Amino acid sequence: MVAGSKKFYEFFVQLILIIVGVLSALAVDNYRESIQEHKTEKEYLISLRNSVQVDTVVIGTEIQRTYTKVNAISELLALSSVGTTIENEKFGDLVSDIMMLIRPNFTTAVYEELKFTGNFKLIRNHKLKTLIISYYTDNAIILEQNIRDWGGYNTEFIDHLTFDELDYKTPFDQKRIFRDLQQHDAIRLELLRSQKLISIVRSGLIYTSLPKSIELLEKLQTEIDK
């Protein structure tokens, strides 16, 4: 009976040691996995920060381009009202500024990878995660709306330019263009509408996109520094 109890005790001790060994191994594996996940999370956060830094520069550039386009339209309409011609090169720049598209090219590669790999779960700060999703969702809406409503070519204006002029093979015939602007209300209305729409884009970039990108940059940097 004593021998049987001793064997049971030894078996029980060995079983406990095995269980403790397995649990210890699992704990070590979990610790290593946690460290790796934290390292991967920080790498993603750094990549996101770098992307948003690029976006912030792009937004600043696009804001300046909106001013350039609005001012170019104003200058063209003013010149056409008095029929004053300017240097061909300057007029070509003016036309280019009027026709340029305002379409911020946001950097989305890291965000798309997080979405499609399921690695969003690695970002443990839920408020930061919500801010990231909101930022990229808003940017996508801006791009879609911009392309649909605001970023298109001024087709009425382009229809009154020749291909060789647009291809810079021949100088723009300023007097003809001024005459067309004076005689065709549709061109002037299109340009004035374009000014208004671009002003709306500028307001959105200044008061929504830029503050959000700066806020996200600050939150990302804070999380990286932890």
pLDDT value of residue 150 = 56
Quick one: which of 150, 173, 169 has its CA closest to 101? 150
Give mean pLDDT, residues 52-62.
95
Give mean pLDDT, residues 99-111.
89
Tokens 């999703």 locate to: 133
Quick one: which of 21, 192, 34, 195 has its CA closest to 124? 34
- Between 72 and 36, whose confidence is greater? 72
CA angle centred on 144, ends 139 and 146, rounded to 5°: 90
pLDDT value of residue 155 = 86
How many residues are there in the chain?
Answer: 226
d(CA 7, CA 192): 96
Is the pLDDT score of 128 beyond 90? yes
Tokens 């170019």 locate to: 72
Model-level pTM greater than 0.85? Answer: no
pLDDT (tens digit, 9 = 90+) per residue, 202-225? 888 899 889 999 999 999 999 999
Is the pLDDT score of 35 beyond 80? no
Mean pLDDT (the chain, rounded): 86
Is the pLDDT score of 6 beyond 80? no
